[in-house]
Structure 1
Amino acid sequence: MEFGRLIAAMVTPFDANLQVDWDQVGKLMDYLIDEQANDSLVICGTTGESPTLTEEEKLKLFAYAVKHANGRCKIIAGTGSYDTAHSIHLSKEAEKLGVDALLLVAPYYNRPSQEGLYQHYKAVAESVSIPCILYNVPSRTGVNINADTTIRLSHLPNIVATKDCADLGQLTQIVNGAAEGFRVYSGEDNMTLPVLAIGGYGIVSVASHVIGKDMKNMINCYLQGNVREAAQIHAKLHPVFKGLFECPHRVPNPTAVKYALNARGVRVGGLRMPLMNATEEEGRFIASLFE
């Protein structure tokens, strides 16, 4: 199954009472597909504030996204957690709702061994028939899916890709050692071009909420052999890539991107606690990225 090169890890719009704003979910999807050139959408990933969404909300979001997308893009459901049994349960329910694939974050907090990671992913993948994408983000989970484990998992029939935030050395090992057809997506916007250069496939992005067309142009330039132009676009976009994650006090994602969307009239509301909305100082910094 083709998910494209540019995948948005979609924020979850909330209303004034911090309930899911269903009208804005649809408008945001249209904006990400039609105006920001995203090929696929991750629903209920970390950027979607998955830790604060109830299971009922997640399932309703999956169902809504599938219906609203209506084949215009692939819908990837974030169904991973630190509990293998619950990950299996949610993955099965998401499959029934018609999502195209699953994004499975590494079990966080309990920090399993590499064998534990392998067995976790194997169990989840074997419980469904749709494609599964690994998600390695050590800074959030406290555990790294190392290259050997990812390569081992790549040989399971429906584990088709990884979204990986590891360094270029680890990603190079995966690109060169994984099963044929296994795709490596960067999980860090600022690494999009470098990961393409080592043979990666694309990006699961936060920044594509606001600079998706430019990112797609950069990717296409590189693929067409216009490396110098791709590098120039990368240099232009780099302050945004870094700034969305390194604004004052290093506010956690998706604080900055939600502020940026609201500022440009794409109403996505605030954040559920324990996340906090951007302060005035942080807001000024975020706004300066787009001046």
Structure 2
Amino acid sequence: MYDLMNDFHIAVPTAFYDNEDLNTETTLQHVMHLYDQGVKSVLVCGTTGEQHSLSLAEKLQLLESLDAASFLPDDLEILFGVASIRQKEALQLAEKVNANPKISGVLLGFPPYILPSQKEARLYVEAIAKVINKPIILYNNPRRTGFNLDLDTFAELIKLANIIGIKDAGDSARIPKLISVTDKKIYVYAGGEIDLDNKIALGATRLSSMAGNLYPTEVEAYFTDLLRGCADKTKDAGIEEKIHNVFADNSIIYIKNEITKHTQIDMGIARSPLGNL
């Protein structure tokens, strides 16, 4: 059986030096900072919008840094993002991810910009899933990639044993339909905290969080209350305002700046043109 233990993970930003070079040491420092606050699952190299600025060599460097980090606790569930505009490079990364014992699962995204057909996208996923003997979450994000996974295509892909669910950052109204096209238990990950109560009402059962980089305990408690149907508008007003602030402008810039401001961890800059002033 393929499964992941935690229903809440935090998508961590990637640290860069001032010259925009990859800073793996600080990235892992932030991961440990989250763990020390009680976080049990993180996603590296995915969701924050930075993945496609990384070359294959940099993704492999980040992956290798996780393997070499003996200080990472055994009970920390680490997911790794796999996606590329070129299937060949996605396969190379997938093979290394599969061989890395620190990685518990994969968030598998679709290629940006090139607009594959549904058949091409299905074959892309099937080829990558074949080399990954770990749980896989599909990541459908039409706003960023220009590609939107059809329900019929999803219905075929979810039959693969190691695909356990989907994170769909598109139309939340599709959530019940995604659940209905399969006869096996699947996880639907809410992509971010915006409109989270509605996403959960529609059937989302897990959360891939960005705001949790700044407020891990509060966001997880907020998510858990919504999931259990015991949310309190008065109690939740504070964290909802904080979440709004994270996503009001450029979320990755805001998150990096706030981490740097309030901890001893300098996450550095974003890669331009992000952060241009």
TM-score under structure 1 normalisation?
A: 0.84
Superposition pairs for residues 148-227 of structure 1, below 5 Å? 148-227=152-231
Superposition pairs for residues 23-38 of structure 1, below 5 Å? 23-35=25-37, 37-38=38-39
Cα contact 2:207–2:223 (8 A) shared by 1:
no
- Structure 1 residue 46: Cα displacement: 4.2
Matched, 1:133 2:132: no
Matched, 1:246 2:248: yes
- After superposition, the C-alpha distances for 1:29-70 in whole angstroms (9 at most, x for unaligned) are 1122222x4332111114272222232322222232344433
- Structure 1 residue 84: Cα displacement: 1.8
- Structure 1 residue 9: Cα displacement: 1.2
List gaps (5 residues or longer) in structure 1. Answer: 280-291
- Structure with greater helix share of residues: 1
- After superposition, the C-alpha distances for 1:160-208 in whole angstroms (9 at most, x for unaligned) are 1211112221112112333422111011321333222222221111111
Distance 1:191 1:73 in 2: 28
- 1:225–1:186 Cα change, 3 Å: closer
- 1:113–1:242 Cα change, 3 Å: farther
Residue matched to 2:98:
95
Residue matched to 1:105:
109
- Structure 1 residue 276: Cα displacement: 1.7
- After superposition, the C-alpha distances for 1:86-145 in whole angstroms (9 at most, x for unaligned) are 211110111112221121111211111222221211111112211221111111000111
Q: Give the % identical residues.
A: 25
The amino acid that maps onto 1:271 is: A
Cα contact 2:4–2:135 (8 A) shared by 1:
no
Note the aligned Cα RMSD (angstroms): 2.2
Residue matched to 2:89:
86
Number of residues of Structure 1 aligned to a counterpart in Structure 2: 271
List gaps (5 residues or longer) in structure 2. Answer: none
Superposition pairs for residues 105-124 of structure 1, below 5 Å? 105-124=109-128
Distance 1:124 1:233 in 2: 43
Residue matched to 1:282:
none
Distance 2:139 2:5 in 1: 15
TM-score under structure 2 normalisation?
A: 0.88
- 1:122–1:234 Cα change, 3 Å: farther
Residue matched to 2:54:
53
Q: Alignment partner of 1:107: what SS?
A: coil
